Chain A
Amino acid sequence: ETGVTQSPTHLIKTRGQQVTLRCSSQSGHNTVSWYQQALGQGPQFIFQYYREEENGRGNFPPRFSGLQFPNYSSELNVNALELDDSALYLCASRGQNTDTQYFGPGTRLTVL
């Protein structure tokens, strides 16, 4: 157990819909990153938040957006869902002065 939780566990949406995924960081961790993992692939970095500000972004379109709250919990929002958005979405939190990230169990999103 890493202390990082994600909800929901599974989600099914249809193309064009919007989705919000949630992550609760490990206590004391002020940095959260989101990753997309397609089947059979490694995780791809979406973006990172540090103290409620976006602090780095991977090669994902603007319809992928996020929020980090004062309690360091976080959301990933995806608009105008496409079939290729079907994947496991992972969040990872990290404390200050440490390079180790702790991952949550992920949310499996299926877009039909």
Chain B
Amino acid sequence: SQQGEEDPQALSIQEGENATMNCSYKTSINNLQWYRQNSGRGLVHLILIRSNEREKHSGRLRVTLDTSKKSSSLLITASRAADTASYFCATDDWDNDMRFGAGTRLTVKP
């Protein structure tokens, strides 16, 4: 069963704008990871944030984690057309599996 739920399901912005995607989950976790997927291909790992961390940065990406609210957000700053993809959050709850949400489909218009 899926653990995370991304919000919104779809997001359309202009190049240069920031994109924010949210993820909510249900159980306690070891870590939460964000992935990107282009057109039904393999997933590309973006960033991992551990349950004892509150914020992480990687290039134009900023991830926050609020374990009290069981939620995370992914911010992509200064978006580019190449950022157009589906973005998934996945939770690792020490159970040897990872649970993905249904994803946010991001479209960045040039």
Contact = CB atoms under 8 A, between A and B. Distances in A.
B44 A33 contact: no
B60 interface: no
Contact of B92 (A37, A39, A99, A108): A99
Contact of A106 (B1, B33, B41, B48): B41
A43 B43 contact: yes
Interface residues of B, number: 26
Interface in B33-53: 33, 35, 40-45, 48
A55 interface: yes
Interface in A81-111: 88, 90, 92, 99-106, 108
Given A42-B88, A44-B2, A2 B42 contact: yes
A79 B40 CA distance: 24
Contacts, number: 66
Contacts of B101: 42
B13 interface: no
A90 B43 contact: yes
Contacts of A70: none
A100 B97 contact: no
- A-B CB proximity, top 5 nearest: A56-B96, A42-B100, A45-B97, A105-B42, A103-B43
23 contacts: A33-B97, A33-B98, A39-B40, A41-B2, A42-B4, A42-B100, A43-B100, A48-B96, A48-B97, A50-B96, A56-B96, A59-B1, A92-B43, A99-B30, A99-B92, A100-B33, A102-B45, A103-B42, A103-B43, A103-B44, A104-B42, A105-B41, A105-B42
Interface of A: 2, 4, 33, 35, 37, 39-45, 48, 50, 55-56, 58-59, 88, 90, 92, 99-106, 108
Interface of B: 1-2, 4, 30-31, 33, 35, 40-45, 48, 88, 90, 92, 95-103
